[in-house]
Amino acid sequence: MQSRSVRTDPRTDLAPYRSPLPVRLRAATLADFDVMADLIRLIDLNRHADELAPIFEILRDVLAAGRGGEGPFTHGSLHFVVADLADQGTPIGLIRCGVGSWTGELAVPAFIRSRLYSRIGNVQELAVAPGYQGRGIARALLRRIEEDHRDAGYDAMVLRHHREQTSFYTHAGYTSGSRLTLVLPNGLGTVSVPGQSWRWAVKPLAQTVAVANIQGRPALTGLLGPRDSTSEC
């Protein structure tokens, strides 16, 4: 993945507008680990250190391995992108994508679960340092991973978020709901995962995928179709 300098959009970030910043988006490296860990801690201050320890262990191992493994992203099948100022090297924002633990909760055949792994992108963390919020950095990171997943043939993006972030994700083109609901192909029915204290946000990437209203809840439809139809949005 090549680094890319962008001017962020201050209208669609997580905090009130201040001023736009030119930022560079690049693949995360092992040298970024400590700053990335600090940013991940900001996402949910209620998480205990014991909960974060396995996350940080996996993060360090993946960063140490670099681009090893099969897959189209920065670290094989995982996508770790950081934002820094164009004239500096310290990350001020990050987005981390990988297989969502929610896939293990679905009562679906193994072959469907395997296809979901490779066709639905899952955002695990999106965070911006407090001093840089409100300057479009979160939106720039989100847009970058959406483009990369679309180019790799993914059907949709999925993520969990705090309730107070609903407006941000709605402005970014996501549909937010209390449950993650997927309509499976070939008559396999509908599966759903509750949000508990979080909300789920979904965004189609392929032209064949849409968000429908099923029993008052948003649901992704048209999943796992041919890979040759991608949206231009």
Q: Report CA 191 to chain centroid distance, whole Å.
A: 20
In a domain, 185, yes or no: no
Residue 229 within any structural domain of the chain: no
Asked if the structure places residue 155 within a domain, the reply is: yes
The reported pLDDT for the residue numbered 73 is 95
Asked, for residue 182, whether it belongs to a domain, the answer is no
DSSP summary character for residue 73: B
pLDDT of residue 196: 78
**pLDDT by 10-residue block (mean), the chain, 233 residues:** 51 48 92 95 78 92 84 93 89 95 87 91 96 93 96 96 94 95 90 88 96 92 73 41
Q: Is the pTM of this model over 0.95?
A: no
Range of the domain at 154: 4-176+199-205
Q: Which of 29, 5, 201, 220 is nearest to 116 (CA)?
A: 220
Q: Indicate whether 116 belongs to any domain.
A: yes
pLDDT, tens digit (0-9, with 9 covering 90-100), for 156-181: 999 999 999 999 999 999 999 999 99
Rounded-to-integer distance, Cα 167 and Cα 170, Å: 5
Q: 71: domain CATH number?
A: 3.40.630.30
Domain total in the chain: 1
Query: What is the DSSP code (8-state) at residue 34?
Result: H
Is position 92 within any domain? yes
**Under 8 Å between Cβ of 204 and 155:** yes
